[in-house]
Structure 1
Amino acid sequence: MGSWTRPPTVAYPRVWLTFESRDVDEPVGSGRLVKYRVQDLPLERVEDAIEHMKKFFLRDEPMCSSVGLYKDPVGLEEFSELWRKVAAQKCAVVCFREGSDEIVGLNMLTVVSKDSPKEYKFKSAGLQMVTESYGGILKQAEIFEKYNVDHYLSAWGLSVSPKYRGRGVATELLRARIPLCRAMGLRVTVTLFSHPGSQIPAAKVGFYDEIVVTYQQLAEQGYHFPGVTHELNKLMTMTVE
């Protein structure tokens, strides 16, 4: 994951923001609101978080779903190990509903450093194609040079439990990066958003397009993701002062 470590002065686990939205099973238009919080993912919940990501993220994220990672035993184990390394950085965030320890949503945040691996090698052909295509887009952006930073915040997956969707949870998980970056001394956060369901909330909280490619362009480069029903894949950036 690189040389970056969480500053010892930043308490862990820490709540980054709270918000109000509908309770579980409350219909749209209901006036009954409950509190939610976005906080650091506790180390004792890492395996629960990985199970959530395997169950929901790998089926929902267009590229991962297209190559069938959710049913690839080798890919599942390799991605799980990657998520464990991500969680060890103590940057991943989780959303909980007040009075419940059920995982509402997750953002598997990671800090990328100049000395982080530039390429990943996996036994799973599907996972290798996903990471190679992402790496190619990232290489075009030249984030370290453009923004003159040694580290930036990125992510290996954003997911909201299906029964909590439509409550603005993804937006708040992304918004939590602002206080997190400020506390950690990070000025830039960059993520590949592969679906409008994440691109739209990212734009709401201040992300802007860094590199935009079509899935057709990826196919022309040898990265085929059959069955994806939308056009654009966006590397998006937000700067935090």
Structure 2
Amino acid sequence: MQNQKCLILVLVGVFVLEAFAAKGKSSKKSLWPIKFPVKNNRGTTYYSMERLPQSKFEDASKFAVKHLKVNTGSANTYWKEELEKNLSVVIFKPGTQTIIGLNILDIRTLHTKSKFVCDRIFDMFSIDKYLISEGLAVDPNYRRQGLGEALLRVHVTICLEQHVDITASLFISDSSNRLANKLNYTCLDRLSAENLAKMKEKNPEKYKDTNEIACKYLAYSDIEANDLCVIM
């Protein structure tokens, strides 16, 4: 049977926001929720993307623990702390409060710059902050419908709200790297094949299907930079 093909039509407002962001404009009107239809061979399903309410932090933390892996002793505590930054975005199952998609977001700043690979963006651009996704996941039962793309596209909305010019994230799966490329992200740093092999050896379950780990960025304003992708 031919694989199901789904077409996501993200709300026109998101694309309007991209135009506003490019021109440095802003809007006082609330942008949430962002509603969009997904068409497939069974018809059309309407989804709603929202800022994660505090009442759903516990559910979101459990969702993150289940679908996202982190190198830390207490994943639940780690994700709760990230969610408390009040930037994350969620997609609920239509007609319910069941989480089926989550993008855990943060804004990293120049004064907290560390050796984290994506913080090299501060050396590349004259900026003092950037938006990063700490983790993006979609329930396996709802994948291949464009929900992951919608969650990544919404970065432009958050950047507009927070007056941020750049988003950068570490993409550690082949599917997320393909999506970043589709949305015109540019490579900042890429893990070498040798180092990737070492990571696979240490954590084969996490990286068994990974062929590329890279930090990639997308700029929403006319700021120039060297586009050279450094091999880590």
Q: TM-score range by the shorter chain?
A: 0.7 to 0.9
TM-score, length-scaled by structure 2: 0.73
Runs of 4+ in 1 over 6 A off after TM superposition: 9-12
* Distance change (3 Å), C-alpha of 1:166 and 1:93: same
Alignment of 1:200 with 2:178, yes or no, is yes
Alignment of 1:8-27 (within 5 A): 15=32, 17-21=34-38
Q: Supply the RMSD in Å over aligned alpha carbons.
A: 2.7
* Distance change (3 Å), C-alpha of 1:178 and 1:218: same
Highest RCO, 1 vs 2 (Cα 8 Å, sep ≥ 6): 1
- 1:145 positional shift: 2.5
CA contact (8 A) 2:38 2:47 kept: yes
Look up the match of 1:100: 96
Q: Distance in 2 between matches of 1:53 and 1:10?
A: 31
Alignment of 1:51 with 2:68, yes or no, is no
Q: Distance in 1 between matches of 2:80 and 2:158?
A: 20
Alignment of 1:35 with 2:46, yes or no, is yes
Structure 2's unaligned 5+ residue stretches are: 1-26, 222-232
Alignment of 1:225 with 2:203, yes or no, is yes
Look up the match of 1:238: 218
Alignment of 1:15-164 (within 5 A): 15=32, 17-21=34-38, 29-30=41-42, 32-58=43-69, 64=70, 75=73, 77=74, 79-116=75-112, 118=114, 135=116, 137-138=117-118, 142-164=120-142
CA contact (8 A) 2:65 2:79 kept: no
- 1:223 positional shift: 8.5
CA contact (8 A) 1:83 1:156 kept: no
Look up the match of 1:167: 145
* Distance change (3 Å), C-alpha of 1:220 and 1:148: same
SS of 1:232 mapped into structure 2: coil
- 1:199 positional shift: 1.4
TM-score, length-scaled by structure 1: 0.70
Provide the identity percentage. Answer: 23
